[in-house]
């Protein structure tokens, strides 16, 4: 079994060059999970969008802004997941997937409501949801889109991108004819990056679900209504090129996309920038549920303070804090219907919930500079007695960093409101942790946390 050692942790050398595209491209798989899209959707859309931008003659910063706007177009997608699940009474990931396959006409949305809302709910709940949507559909959809677009733009800025990238993400759901949301702006008032991103999104969604002919038909059908007609014409020409669709299906498309990153291909990604990236995606994670607002940041902070008490050096603590902040990135692949359920999860739901730890390991494991903390973050539900998940590790193979995250995670979860109970006091939380000593909770980590609570450094 693997147990992390201090020497395993990668430290960036001042002469080392890192691809920002590769780091954020790996995180884009988490966004695909949240939107219920096949893995690699954001990367394929980015490749399509970049081809369009280059055909338009875009270069340098302008091309780079489109590249990242399309790759990260779904940064705000987790922020409306809980509301989608509640309003439509179902699995938000499935609902979002089906929603993106709707036709462009208002009646298509009406048919979607009739067929998708509350399919697994009792008749009374379904009827109430349908009535609410019929009466308030415009207001509900505007709010849902506004939350997604504004949050995505804010996180793009936190990731140090330009206002052009942020604005393009904010305009993703606007339509050429003014019928989009949330602003209802039209034509060239919509940021060019947003226009390209929407076209690329539609092209890939229909291509992966129904094939290239369906993708081309949807682009034609939405030209002049949803989509910029000039961009649609350009896309038609590009898609006729030999190898366009074949290249989109290649296994090494991600590597080809990284090579397309324009301007300064190797942007300076230092330790501070990695912190910003971790904290930004911590916000994406926490937006998935109203009950987890600030959870990732707090777990990162608590873990860092415990590590300091235990005498860890600065770099080891820094890596740990990133891992702790990102420990729940895999929950982006869990439906809000499960995350928000006030009752006990059934066996199938519990299996889905447990899968988030595997997703966390997989996502972080794709990022070269963060791969050393993938196992650390993904092991926060392992137990010293070997009865945890996903691997059933025991005290012989669980790293100290994972033990710290476990204690920090449990403590913060216990002291905040959850769908199934109210927040506990610090004393009650510490009592529960004490009962798990040497079973699920490491004794040294517990003692360090106890000191922090008594000193008022952790509340």
For residue 372, name the pLDDT band (cuts at 50, 70, 90): confident
Q: Is 331 a catalytic residue?
A: yes
For residue 207, give Cα distances in angstroms to 41, 210, 261, 302, 324.
Answer: 10, 5, 23, 45, 37
Token pair 């033990």: residue:
403
User: Is residue 285 within 8 Å of 328, Cβ to Cβ?
Assistant: yes
Residue 432's nearest CA partner among 452, 415, 455 is 415
CA pseudo-torsion sign 61, 66, 72, 73? positive
pLDDT of residue 264: 56
Model confidence over 310-337: pLDDT tens digits?
999 999 999 999 999 999 999 999 999 9
pLDDT of residue 41: 98
Question: Using CA atoms, how far apart are residues 335 and 253, in angstroms rounded to an integer?
Answer: 28
Residue 441's nearest CA partner among 363, 390, 365, 387 is 387
User: Residue 421, SS3?
Assistant: strand
pLDDT of residue 263: 58
User: Is residue 329 within 8 Å of 281, Cβ to Cβ?
Assistant: yes
Q: What angle do CA 10, 15, 19 make, to 5 degrees?
A: 70
**Quick check: 3 pLDDT over 50?**
no
Model confidence over 45-73: pLDDT tens digits?
999 999 999 999 999 999 999 999 999 99
Spatial CB neighbours of 136, under 8 Å, sequence gap ≥ 6? none
pLDDT of residue 14: 45
User: Is residue 362 within 8 Å of 339, Cβ to Cβ?
Assistant: no
pLDDT of residue 1: 32
Can you give the pTM of this predicted structure? 0.93
Question: Using CA atoms, how far apart are residues 388 and 392, in angstroms rounded to an integer?
Answer: 5
pLDDT of residue 7: 38
The percent helix, strand, coil of the chain (3-state, each to 5) is 65, 0, 35
Determine which one of 94, 96, 331, 341 is catalytic.
331
For residue 193, give Cα distances in angstroms to 4, 52, 206.
Answer: 42, 10, 20
Largest CA distance in the chain: 68
For residue 267, name the pLDDT band (cuts at 50, 70, 90): low
Model confidence over 161-211: pLDDT tens digits?
999 999 999 999 999 999 999 999 999 999 999 999 999 999 999 999 999
* Mean pLDDT of the chain, nearest integer: 93
Spatial CB neighbours of 179, under 8 Å, sequence gap ≥ 6? 225, 226
As given in the structure block, the two tokens for residue 170 are 């904010």
Q: Which domains does the chain have, with CATH numbers?
A: 19-268 (1.10.3210.10), 271-454 (1.10.3210.10)
User: Residue 441, SS3?
Assistant: strand
């Amino acid at each position: 079994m693997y147990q992390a050692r201090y020497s395993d942790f990668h430290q960036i050398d001042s002469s080392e060059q890192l691809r920002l595209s590769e780091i954020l491209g790996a995180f884009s798989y988490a966004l695909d999970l949240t939107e219920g899209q096949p893995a690699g959707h954001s990367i394929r859309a980015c490749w399509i969008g970049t081809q369009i931008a280059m055909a338009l003659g875009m270069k340098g910063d302008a091309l780079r802004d489109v590249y990242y706007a399309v790759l990260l177009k779904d940064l705000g997608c987790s922020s409306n997941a809980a509301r989608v699940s509640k309003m439509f009474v179902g699995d938000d990931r499935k609902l979002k997937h089906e929603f993106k396959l709707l036709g462009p006409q208002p009646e298509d949305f009406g048919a979607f409501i009739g067929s998708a809302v509350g399919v697994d709910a009792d008749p009374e709940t379904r009827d109430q949801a349908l009535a609410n949507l019929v009466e308030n559909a415009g207001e509900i959809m505007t709010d849902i889109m506004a939350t997604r677009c504004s949050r995505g733009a804010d996180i793009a800025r936190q990731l140090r991108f330009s206002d052009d990238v942020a604005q393009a993400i904010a305009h993703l759901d606007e339509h050429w004819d003014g019928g989009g949301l949330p602003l209802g702006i039209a034509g060239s008032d919509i940021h060019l990056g947003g226009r390209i991103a929407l076209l690329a999104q539609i092209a890939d969604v229909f291509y992966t679900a129904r094939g290239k002919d369906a993708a081309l038909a949807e682009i034609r059908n939405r030209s002049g209504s949803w989509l910029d007609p000039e961009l649609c014409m350009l896309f038609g020409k590009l898609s006729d090129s030999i190898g366009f669709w074949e290249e989109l299906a290649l296994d090494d498309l991600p590597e080809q996309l990284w090579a397309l990153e324009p301007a300064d291909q190797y942007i300076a990604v230092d330790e501070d920038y990695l912190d910003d990236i971790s904290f930004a995606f911590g916000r994406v994670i926490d937006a998935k549920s109203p009950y987890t607002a600030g959870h990732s940041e707090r777990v990162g902070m608590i873990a860092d303070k415990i590590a300091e008490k235990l005498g860890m050096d600065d770099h080891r603590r820094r890596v740990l804090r990133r891992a702790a902040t990102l420990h729940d990135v895999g929950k982006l692949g869990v439906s809000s219907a499960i995350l928000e359920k006030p009752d006990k999860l059934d066996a199938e739901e519990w299996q889905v919930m447990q899968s988030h730890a595997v997703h966390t390991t997989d996502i972080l494991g794709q990022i070269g500079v963060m791969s050393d903390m993938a196992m650390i973050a993904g092991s926060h539900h392992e137990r010293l007695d070997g009865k945890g998940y996903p691997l059933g590790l025991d005290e012989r193979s669980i790293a100290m960093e994972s033990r710290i995250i476990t204690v920090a995670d449990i403590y913060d979860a216990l002291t905040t409101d959850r769908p199934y109970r109210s927040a506990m006091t610090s004393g009650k939380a510490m009592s529960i942790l004490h009962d798990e000593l040497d079973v699920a909770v490491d004794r040294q980590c517990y003692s360090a946390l106890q000191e922090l609570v008594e000193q008022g450094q952790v509340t």
